[in-house]
Structure 1
Amino acid sequence: MTYRSPPAGHPYSTTDLCRYFGLSTRTLRYYGAIELLPAFRRGEARFYSAADRDRLREILRLKRFGFTLQEIRELLILADRHDAPGYAARFERAAAAHLEAMRDRLAELQHVIPALEAERAANARRDAA
């Protein structure tokens, strides 16, 4: 793992970022271990810069969209290289695949939800009888 020099200004502790983003310390340590979000260390403590906080925000945004950590890593590498065309193309491919999967899941749920509601209603009628 690559550790960096402390950032200028007031660094964020692991606890600060975990509280801010609602993450566990285990998650943040894992992101560091796989080099998505490397930290700098003072003794056993890990610290992060404002840029790291922004990077974590981007990681979480991409995760919310359904991107895998590997896809996120690839996108961040392109962003770090300032490869806007590469980033845009990779984002488009991944986003298209995720949108298709989400639409498929939504279509499936639109059939499953009414069936589950009917089962629930039937169960309630049996309990009432």
Structure 2
Amino acid sequence: MPCLKPEVHKNRFAKVYLIGAEAYHKAGDNAKAAELINVVRARAAFQKTNTSAQNAEAASALVITASDVSVDFILDERSRELFGEWQRWHDLVRTKSLVRRVKAWNPEAAPYIQGFHMLRPIPQSQIDRVTDRPKFTENPGY
């Protein structure tokens, strides 16, 4: 089995913990969710060039409590940890927060974002390929 690059391991580690944190949050256990998020944040605080004391201080500065946990907090943490992995749209759609967060954080796109953007447009070439069933239609709004 080929070994993954360290950056890939780091992101997969964070992804698993953040999925767990989201599940605990949805189940109403924010203490356990915070515990999992704190593991990710402690790993992020670690620097090879720091002393043990410096790393401990950096990790403790990032500790959160159960009262800090929300869907928005978890989404923010996912955006930092999984930056560049092209999962953001899926995360925002899955949590039904795409329109709200775009309006809050992206003033350039805010006037244009609408509920139908929760679905992507279907390419016309794909619609045209469906020939053995009733007419395949585009998602509403496109």
TM range (shorter): under 0.3
Name the structure with the higher strand share: 1
Q: Give the structure-1-normalised TM-score.
A: 0.28
Name the structure with the higher helix share: 1
Q: Give the structure-2-normalised TM-score.
A: 0.26
